[in-house]
Amino acid sequence: MKSWPGLSSWRRTGLQFRLICFALAIAAPMLGLTITARFAAADTAISAERDLLNLRANVVARTLAHDLQIAQALVRTLQDNRWVVLHESEGCRDFLKGLLMHSSDHLGDFYVVRLDGSVACAQSDVDPAINLSDHAFFAAAQRSTTAIVGHPRVSRITGRWIWPVALALRDPEGQPVAVVSVMVNLSRLVADVTADWERLDASQVLVRDVAGRITFAWPERDATGRASIDQAQAGPEGESDELRALAPLPGLDSEVVVRASRSRLLAPHYAALQRDLLVIGLVLLVATALAWLLARRLVLQPLQRLKDATEKMISGDVEVRCASDAGVREFRDLSTAFDTMAERLSRRMSELRASEGRVRRQLARMSLLDQTTRAVGESLDLEHVFDVTAATMVVRMPVDFAAVLIHDPTDQTLQIKSACKGGEVVLGAALRAGQFVSIDQNGLSTCLAGRLVYEPDTRAVDFPFPTLLASMGLHSLVLAPLQTHSKVFGLLAVARTEAESFTSVDCEFLRQLGDNVALAIIQARLHGALKMAYDDLKSSQQIVMHDERLRVLGQMSSGIAHDINNALSPVALYADALLENETSLSDKGRAALGQIQRSVDDVAETLARLRDFYRKREGAVEPTLIDANELCEQVLEICRARWHDIPLQRGIEIHIDRRYAVVKPRLPGMLSEVRDALVNLVLNAVDAMPEGGTLTMMTGSQHGPNGGETLFEVGDTGIGMDSQTRERCLEPFFTTKGERGTGLGLATVFGVIQRHGGQVRIDSQLGQGTRIQLAFPSGIEVQPSASEASPLHEQPPACRLLLIDDDPISLKSLADVLVADGHSVSAFDNGAEGVQAFAAAAGGDQPYDAVFSDLGMPRMDGRAVAAAIKRIAPHTPVLLLTGWGQRLLDDGDTPSGVDRVIQKPPRLARLRQALASVLAGRA
């Protein structure tokens, strides 16, 4: 709820100020009534004065209008008797005097003025030198045919305020001959009218024209002697200190104004108001002084004593009292109540001090418990938890001995995991870490049941453990159980040199500490178990990730191998055909074609080995006997461009250091695999020597842990490897060559060694080069290969063959070599057309004897072709050529309707053998 904005400020004021405000609040209505009454009387006086001024203005206006009308009648009378006025000067004066005697007393002089401005006749004597020809009123009268009324002015002749009325006298022809003028004496008129006015000094009579210009003011001078007509030029009534009344003059363009001074009228009322305010102020001052004195004596002094006592109590003096007989009864009661409150507060403060002491001691225990718990919980090492627990208890509680004992349920003993002493206590060997304490012989079963044990004096206990403590000067003992989920797994033993030195609070603290230490121990154990599980999981994860990398690599390599095998098929077929059919080839040409054949075989073997990155080889490998020295020379020849030609173009030289065994070492193995492994090692060695160096090729044999070993070693003097690179260099996709490397070189070498049952040994240091040694077992018996065990198949008889392959180069090369063997060949680049041609020939005189088909083709693949051929002619053999041939054979996934699967790239001998075999089976 919102309060009045000034209320908070009012509440902060003192009592004296409030009493003064209260007195002012009482006097304010009286003061207001007095001021209101005086102002009401002033308003009444002003209203009455305004009515009186209106009446006086009307009286003056009526009198003035009456006299002006009489003056107009007189000048018209003179018009009718103009002969007297114009011809008899004495008769004119007597005539004028006679007229004035029978008219108003306010009419002044009569004048007859000739046209030249001289006075022809006057009521009284006139200075002959006076001439009125330049007077505007005289000129206006000559022009007018009726009587005209001028404006108030001071007469040139008499020097009095007059209001002239004039009429031109004309001859029978209507021409003006003179001007007769009658003057209304304004000064006399106004004096006669205002003679009986009260407060005449406060009133003034004015005449002003329609333009608002003051033409007459009476009295002529004010109290200061200044001309009244000058002071009368004032603004409207509301803008000056005056009251005004207006009365128009009928038939004239002027009006009468009667005004009075407002300040003079209100002066008596203001004086009375000042007297009243002075009296009220004096009364209010006396009342306020009395109220202030009484408040100080009866209220402020008792309140001050109460305030002083309260401030002392706030400062901490609860023994202060303020009982007093002075002041009013209410304050005496308040002082008595304050003293009663102070007495109760004193007793309460004593109780609070005692409670505060207990709370402080409890907080100290809680702080010690928190510090100990934090110190224990900051470590996840179990042994460190034991040590920190014992050391913290000795230092912070403090105690003279602390130990952590863990229960061994197998032999019912407690093992001391950590023990710590304080002061001058000397621990014996029986209380050191690692020692065992019997449970039953020392009465520790009670504590192992989950109850805290307190021995106030160990000298009074017969069990060996307390007796041992007593012999070392430790005379009081507390055993706190370490338990979790109501299962005790150890004890916390704490001892002091003084007997009965543990209080109930200490025992409760040790019980709580035992619970927290137990949680810390359980947490450390769980952390250890989780760390072990995490390490196992990490190891398993790395194995899974490694296998997954190999699986992805195998999937990628499968598609790549298919495309490469397709590309190599024409090379292999044409090379075989050239070596067999072209007798005019030179020896160098035949050597080059032989190298091409070996390279094609190596590539095919390499592609086949890509499967071994993600799956084990199925079936036994048939090794051949390999000449290690000759193989090294073949590898150097294959890599000559990399270690000789290209570096020389850049001005770099790489020396070859051949260290072959004198006795040629021979080993059984897959020649292409071992050759590829050595090629990878040579290429890596060349890349490791960007500035040139020495490449070492070494062969040898030795007796290893598993029998005889044939050794290949490739070394360089290049940049070398650090420890981290050595650990990861055999992983697939790991490379230090950036975008140039694939990360498969050493991984391929490692796969070859694993398949041959050998080992890879790496010796490398940064800046000192690298030596990689391949150790192959040499005790494997070499079986003759199938080609060596049986003679070659003879060339099959000429027959009509259907070839289907979507690769035009592979299709043409296959057709060429088969046509060269004397066969009739029909080639189609898609399965649908090939099946249509086969169906057409099957119904004629020259059916096809066999069908060669690729596996992967758009729209209609090799499986669909084989199925369609078998539906048309079930006995016609179908031979499937594919880059996935070996995988289909290993997986047992030979398509239905296929009689023989031939791995691309096909060799001419293998084609002839397969064709002869299926034709023989058909026969």
CA distances from residue 851 to 213, 848, 856, 919 in whole angstroms, order as listed: 143, 7, 16, 11
How many CB atoms are located within 10 Å of the residue 361 CB?
12
Contact 29, 37 (CB under 8 A): no
| Alpha helices by DSSP H, 775-884 | 786-789, 808-820, 831-842, 862-872
Convert the pLDDT of each residue in 760-785 to its tens digit: 888 888 888 899 888 888 754 444 44
pLDDT band at 46 (very low <50, low <70, confident <90, very high): confident
pLDDT at residue number 150: 82
Contact 212, 261 (CB under 8 A): no
pLDDT at residue number 87: 58
Query: Has residue 823 got a pLDDT over 50?
Result: yes
Q: What is the mean pLDDT of residues 149-171?
A: 81
Specify the higher pLDDT residue, 165 or 392.
Answer: 165
Query: Has residue 378 got a pLDDT over 70?
Result: no
DSSP state letter for 855? S
Convert the pLDDT of each residue in 871-906 to its tens digit: 888 888 988 887 665 555 555 556 777 888 887 788
Convert the pLDDT of each residue in 276-335 to its tens digit: 888 878 877 887 777 777 777 766 777 777 777 788 778 877 777 776 665 567 677 777
Contact 621, 670 (CB under 8 A): yes
* Identity at 876, one-letter amino acid code: T
Mean pLDDT is lowest, of 262-266, 541-545, 630-634, 779-783, for 779-783
Convert the pLDDT of each residue in 717-751 to its tens digit: 888 888 777 777 777 666 776 656 665 667 778 87
What rounded mean pLDDT belongs to the chain?
77
Hey, which of 89-93, 257-261, 440-444 has the most confident mean pLDDT? 257-261
Contact 86, 78 (CB under 8 A): no
pLDDT band at 107 (very low <50, low <70, confident <90, very high): confident
Query: Has residue 72 got a pLDDT over 70?
Result: yes
* Identity at 699, one-letter amino acid code: T
pLDDT at residue number 893: 59
Mean pLDDT is lowest, of 152-156, 321-325, 651-655, 749-753, for 321-325
Mean pLDDT is lowest, of 103-107, 128-132, 438-442, for 438-442
Q: Name the β-bridge partners of 658.
A: 697
Specify the higher pLDDT residue, 114 or 787.
Answer: 114
Residue whose entry in the numeric block shows the structure tokens 């947490």: 523
- Look at residues 216, 212, 207 and name the one whose alpha carbon lies nearest to residue 256: 207
Specify the higher pLDDT residue, 177 or 744.
Answer: 177
Contact 246, 255 (CB under 8 A): yes
Q: What whole-number distance in Å separates Cα of residue 897 and Cα of residue 647?
A: 55
pLDDT at residue number 715: 92
DSSP state letter for 221? B
Query: Has residue 847 got a pLDDT over 80?
Result: yes
pLDDT at residue number 224: 46
**CA triple 270-275-276, angle to 5 deg:** 95
Convert the pLDDT of each residue in 521-533 to its tens digit: 887 778 778 888 8
pLDDT at residue number 100: 67
Work out the burial of residue 522: count CB atoms within 10 Å of its CB; fewer than 13 is exposed, 13-18 middle, 19 or more buried. Answer: middle
pLDDT at residue number 696: 92
pLDDT band at 84 (very low <50, low <70, confident <90, very high): low
